[in-house]
Structure 1
């Protein structure tokens, strides 16, 4: 993490003498730490200045949390501050456990993904200040690749004809979809969706949230089910949707995600 002296004063004052524990779940280049204070659990998340123009920006995620508060279940934003060393925010931990815990226990989760999509896509987007459409995300990816900040452990041989980052970027430019815009989480998976004992949902890691094509979140949920549950369950999930499947869009968003 940042040396203690690099964190904004408002952040260090809140943490005080609490002990920080690294949280390395997920693949984000941001640093995340858990800590407890006054019997409550919190998270500290920081991002360096080079990520400020991207959806990894902590300030962008804080904006998403502020806008979504009262609309769906999201972490409470306690503080967000930036300085010359980067951006930092503190959030209060949400209730429940990640959906991955139910998958590991062999419990059904497709209905919870469907409910998550219903809640997300039901949010009116008329006044939403967050934009995460395909063109914006592709521009972000081009920036990350130009800086060498993209995921280096990508696998492109699942798509014939794609061999390196530039091949993928050309493919994405050529297959940009016509978008059916809704509100999207942007990284909807079993580690970013929490559920309590009453099946109440809470969404975390909302840096990529915003107005985007409805098939982005569907593609993530479908992949999650296919890889961690079964292909049969994943296919049944698609058939449960209230609209006809669009495989080309799902493939576009999976390709777009490969270098993140």
Structure 2
């Protein structure tokens, strides 16, 4: 996608999926190679859908698909990411409010699913390829062979699935994917929604709890209570955090060492 390497585009980062992200003014461009086009097209569709729900976020500016890959161009969302802000009760309350609003969208209105069977199959693929990224594991989990961690998930799968409370989930609910006005601390938008879909609410809550504890070093109990969860399910909080950790493979170095 040669046009992204000229004309004022600045490369911002390389995402977990290997996609490259560029920015020019108030437009972001995420580019992927041919193997990632279907996934990126799915993210485009999710951005378009979310824009019609009232949840703040980016809008699709353009979609470019060529023989060597595809680029999704989206509008920039104002604000700073949650991981760049100091811990505060107000920010956590506003985060809880936007997550709750997302989860209250009627599931019948959402055309996207994130079925638990599909997610655990994705984790199994990463584990069987020996590609688990240890950066996503806790210190305790790093001491356990990934195959054993996966086996533990399978052992609990039926019980966890039976307790599922299906809502519209972000799918990658970490602090960098929620932007805030640095003055008012109001949430200005959600981003990186390539994994958005109907799933158990704990798929989001488990990640957010871990993020608040790891990035902000705060007890997540107040956040969960503001969200409306006074007696959280400890099993599902642990299950979904581990499951998500096993779905992110180690990044593959490209020709530029990225």
| TM-score (structure 1 length as normaliser) | 0.80
Give the alignment partner of residue 235 of structure 1, picking from 215, 221, 228. 221
Task: Please tell me whether residue 169 in structure 1 is matched to residue 154 in structure 2.
Answer: no
Q: Which residue of 2 aligns with 1:18?
A: 7
Tell whether 2:94 aligns with 1:112: yes
2:27 to 15, 35, 42: 42
Is 1:190 the counterpart of 2:179 in the alignment? Answer: no
Cα pair 1:116 1:201 within 8 Å, conserved: no
Distance of 1:109 and 1:146 partners within structure 2: 39
1:96 aligns with 2:96: no
Q: What are the superposed Cα offsets for residues 82-128 of structure 1, whole Å, 9 maximum, x if unpaired? A: 34433321111012222223227x67421022112221111111032
User: 2:20 is matched with which residue?
Assistant: 31
Any idea what the Cα deviations from partners look like across 1:163-208, whole Å, max 9, x if unmatched? 2332222222222222210001011122111123552430100001
- 2:255 aligns with none
Report the secondary structure of 1:188's partner residue: coil
Note closer, same or farther for the CA distance 1:247–1:224 as it changes in structure 2 (3 Å cut): same
**Structure 1 residues without counterparts, runs of 5 or longer:** 5-11
Alpha-carbon shift at residue 143 of structure 1 (Å):
3.5
Is the CA contact (8 Å cut-off) linking 1:172 and 1:252 kept in structure 2?
A: yes
Matched, 1:155 2:137: yes
Q: Which has the higher helix share?
A: 2
Q: Deviations over 1:31-50 (max 9, x none)?
A: 111112xxxx1111122343
Q: Which has the higher contact order (CA 8 A, sep 6+)?
A: 2
Match of 1:134 among 111, 116, 120: 116
For the residue of structure 2 that corresponds to 1:23, the secondary structure is: strand
Aligned counterpart for 1:214 among listed residues 184, 201, 207: 201
Change over 3 Å in CA distance of 1:65–1:85 after alignment to 2:
same
